[in-house]
C-alpha cells in the first residue's frame, strides 16, 4: 500500500512544475529531537509551553526560561540531519523541489544543504535583543546565562533571547515569503507536521484552493487529511529512503 503511494508521489514530483515542502517537528524526531505533541513523549507533556515557549513566560520567569533553553540548546546542537532532511536537499539540488517552508528551529535543513529555506518560526542558533534587536549567537547568550544568570545586550542592556517565535509573538517576514512560494506551487508536500499551529497550517488549504496537489506524509492524522490529494501514513525515514530510490536520489 505505502509503496504504491510512494510510486504515485514520485510520479507527481517528476511531473510537477513547482513543488515545495512544508516540514514540521516530525521531520526531526529521527535526529533525536522530540516533537511537541507526540502521543508518547511530546515535549509539551514534559514542560509547560506557557513558561518556556511564550513571550509572557520569558518576561515572568526569565531564569526558568533560560534553564529550559540551556537543556534545549544542548539537544539541538548535538543533532545531525537525517535521511528526510538529506532527501529533501537532494530533491532541491536536482531541481525537483523549489523551496522548503519549515516550522522547525533546529537548523537541520541548513546543515543538510537546503538553500531556499523559509524558517517561519526562526532558528535556534541565532539570538536577538528584545529592545534594540541586535543579533547575537545563541551560544553566546547561554554562555552569558551560565556566568551571570541573565543575558543582557552589551549595547543597550536589553534582555537577550533565542531568535525564535514564541507564543504571543508575530511571525517573521519569512512567513509571507513562504506564502508566496505556496501560491506558486502546483505540488505541496507536507512532512511531519500536525498542522495544528496557525497561521502556518492555513498554508495547506491556500495551496489547495490555488490548484496545487497536496500530499501529507505523517505518522498521525492531521486536520487536513480529508482535503489532501494523497495521505501517506508512515515513518518518514523509511518512506523518504524509498522515495529517494524511486527518484534515483541515492547517488
| Catalytic residue list | 121
Q: Give CA angle at 211 (210, 216), nearest 5°.
A: 100
3-state secondary structure labels for all residues of 164-189 = ECCECCCCCHHHHHHHHHHHHCCEEE
For residues 228 and 9, give the distance between their C-alpha atoms in angstroms, rounded to a whole number.
13
3-state secondary structure of 230: strand
For residue 207, what is its C-alpha cell? 495551496
Q: Which residues of 26-64 are buried (b: 16+ CB within 10 A; e: fewer)?
A: bbbbbbebbbbebeeeebeeeeeeebbbbeebbeeebee
Amino acid at each position: 500500500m505505502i509503496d504504491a503511494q510512494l510510486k504515485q508521489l514520485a510520479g507527481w514530483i517528476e511531473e510537477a512544475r513547482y513543488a515545495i515542502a512544508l516540514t514540521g517537528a516530525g521531520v526531526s524526531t529521527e535526529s533525536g529531537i522530540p516533537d511537541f505533541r507526540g502521543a508518547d513523549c511530546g515535549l509539551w507533556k514534559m514542560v509547560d509551553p506557557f513558561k518556556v515557549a511564550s513571550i509572557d513566560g520569558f518576561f515572568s520567569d526569565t531564569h526558568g526560561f533560560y534553564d529550559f533553553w540551556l537543556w534545549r540548546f544542548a539537544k539541538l546542537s548535538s543533532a545531525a540531519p537525517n535521511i528526510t532532511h538529506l532527501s529533501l536537499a537532494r530533491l532541491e539540488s536536482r531541481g525537483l523541489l523549489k523551496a522548503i517552508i519549515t516550522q522547525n528551529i533546529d537548523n537541520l535543513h541548513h546543515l543538510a544543504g537546503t538553500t531556499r529555506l523559509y524558517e517561519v518560526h526562526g532558528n535556534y542558533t541565532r539570538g536577538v535583543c528584545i529592545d534594540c534587536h541586535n543579533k547575537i549567537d545563541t551560544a553566546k547568550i547561554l554562555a552569558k546565562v551560565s556566568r551571570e544568570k541573565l543575558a543582557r545586550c552589551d549595547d543597550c542592556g536589553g534582555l537577550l533571547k533565542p531568535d525564535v517565535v514564541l507564543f504571543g509573538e508575530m511571525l517573521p517576514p519569512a512567513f509571507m515569503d513562504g506564502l508566496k512560494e505556496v501560491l506558486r506551487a502546483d505540488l505541496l508536500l507536507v512532512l511531519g507536521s500536525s498542522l495544528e499551529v496557525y497561521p502556518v497550517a492555513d498554508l495547506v488549504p491556500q495551496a489547495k484552493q490555488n490548484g496545487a496537489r497536496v500530499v501529507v506524509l505523517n505518522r498521525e492524522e492531521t486536520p487536513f487529511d480529508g482535503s489532501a490529494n494523497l495521505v501517506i501514513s508512515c515513518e518518514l525515514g523509511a518512506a523518504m529512503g524509498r522515495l529517494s530510490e524511486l527518484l534515483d536520489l541515492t547517488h
